[in-house]
């Protein structure tokens, strides 16, 4: 009996028409009744009098089918997928175009030093990688006196686990267009007065330090670092500074201490491996 009374109160004693009303809706509300009449809005207007809701930048609805994906065509009576002629272009993309699309911010679009854009790009480019470079735990064995029981001639033996993280580092360098200074050409003449006569063509003799470091000598890396500091463009010099910050932010404290003993940026990279 109580349930029946609650139901009657809930529908405002609407009688036989109560079951056709929405919850808490007054059967004597003219606006509500008109809202159920096709072509009449809830405010009593019709046709041009009805209010149009804001679009908020969303494309208009396509009839009664809602928003249509970009791969669907409405040109025909029935909705169909866009034909190949509308999907493919006429020219095949070059390798340079494919690589260019991977760059988030070209080195020429970083903004003026000190500007808001420059600061944002610098923070994003030098942010520590998710998996930082660090020494493997099993290389930290100590003797009874607390000294390291393993002695290594170079860091390559101690930090072997870092090799798996090189791809992420290189991909990040490419995304922020910082890899150019790390392509090192062959030395033509150590004693040449002109910087252009001292080095060979990077397109034909260049070796990417992040990919083929085993093909580079320490002397070649040091000479390239010295001339890059003295003669490289402002954009490439920024790339070297950001790359150094990225490397330091992506290393643990122990590795940073060992790396700082190595010298130049390229030398550090070689000694990590």
∠ CA 44-46-47, nearest 5°, is 160
User: What is the rounded distance in angstroms from the CA atom of residue 79 to the CA atom of residue 63?
Assistant: 12
β pairing state of 72-73 and 80-81: antiparallel
Q: How far apart are CA 185 and CA 271, in angstroms?
A: 20
Task: Give the pLDDT confidence of 83-120 residue by residue, as tens digits.
Answer: 777 788 889 999 889 888 999 999 999 999 999 999 99
Residue 18 pLDDT greater than 90, yes or no: no
> 219-223: long-range contacts at Cβ-Cβ below 8 A with a sequence spacing of 24 or more?
220/184, 220/186, 220/187, 221/184, 221/264, 221/266, 221/267, 221/270, 222/263, 222/264, 222/266, 222/267, 223/187, 223/190
Q: How far apart are CA 192 and CA 203, in angstroms?
A: 20
Contacts of 189 (CB under 8 A, 6+ apart): 197, 198
What pLDDT, in 10s, does the model give residues 25-50? 455 555 555 545 454 444 445 555 55
Whole-model pTM? 0.59
pLDDT tier for residue 66 given thresholds of 50, 70 and 90: low
* pLDDT tens digits for range 139-156: 454 555 655 544 544 545
Q: Which residues contact 271 (CB under 8 A, 6 or more apart)?
A: 154, 155, 156, 258, 259, 262
Quick: pLDDT tens for 209-256: 988 989 999 899 999 999 999 999 999 999 999 999 999 899 888 777
Q: Residue 234: what pLDDT?
A: 96
Q: Check residues 251 and 176 and name the one with the higher pLDDT.
A: 176
pLDDT given at position 237? 96
């Amino acid at each position: 009996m109580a349930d029946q009374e609650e139901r009657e109160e809930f529908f405002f004693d609407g009688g036989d028409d109560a079951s056709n009303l929405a919850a808490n809706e007054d059967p004597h509300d003219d606006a509500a009744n008109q809202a159920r009449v096709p072509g009449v809005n809830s405010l009593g207007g019709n046709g041009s009098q009805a209010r149009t809701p804001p679009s908020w930048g969303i494309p208009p609805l396509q009839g009664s089918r809602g928003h249509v994906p970009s791969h669907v065509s409405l040109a025909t009576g029935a909705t169909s997928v866009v034909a190949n002629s509308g999907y493919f272009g006429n020219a095949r993309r070059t390798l340079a175009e494919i690589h260019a699309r991977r760059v988030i911010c070209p080195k020429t679009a970083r903004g003026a030093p000190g500007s808001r854009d420059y600061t944002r790009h610098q923070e994003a480019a030098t942010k520590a990688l998710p998996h930082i470079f660090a020494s493997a735990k099993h290389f930290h064995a100590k003797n009874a006196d607390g000294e390291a029981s393993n002695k290594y001639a170079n860091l390559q033996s101690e930090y072997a686990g870092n090799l798996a993280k090189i791809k992420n580092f290189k991909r990040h360098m490419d995304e922020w267009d910082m890899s150019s200074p790390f392509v090192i050409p062959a030395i033509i003449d150590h004693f040449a007065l002109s910087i252009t006569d001292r080095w060979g063509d990077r397109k034909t003799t260049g070796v990417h330090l992040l990919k083929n470091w085993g093909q580079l000598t320490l002397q070649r890396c040091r000479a390239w670092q010295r001339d890059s500091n003295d003669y490289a463009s402002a954009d490439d010099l920024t790339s070297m500074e950001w790359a150094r910050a990225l490397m330091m932010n992506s290393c643990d404290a122990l590795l940073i201490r060992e790396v700082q003993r190595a010298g130049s940026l390229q030398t550090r990279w070689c000694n990590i491996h």
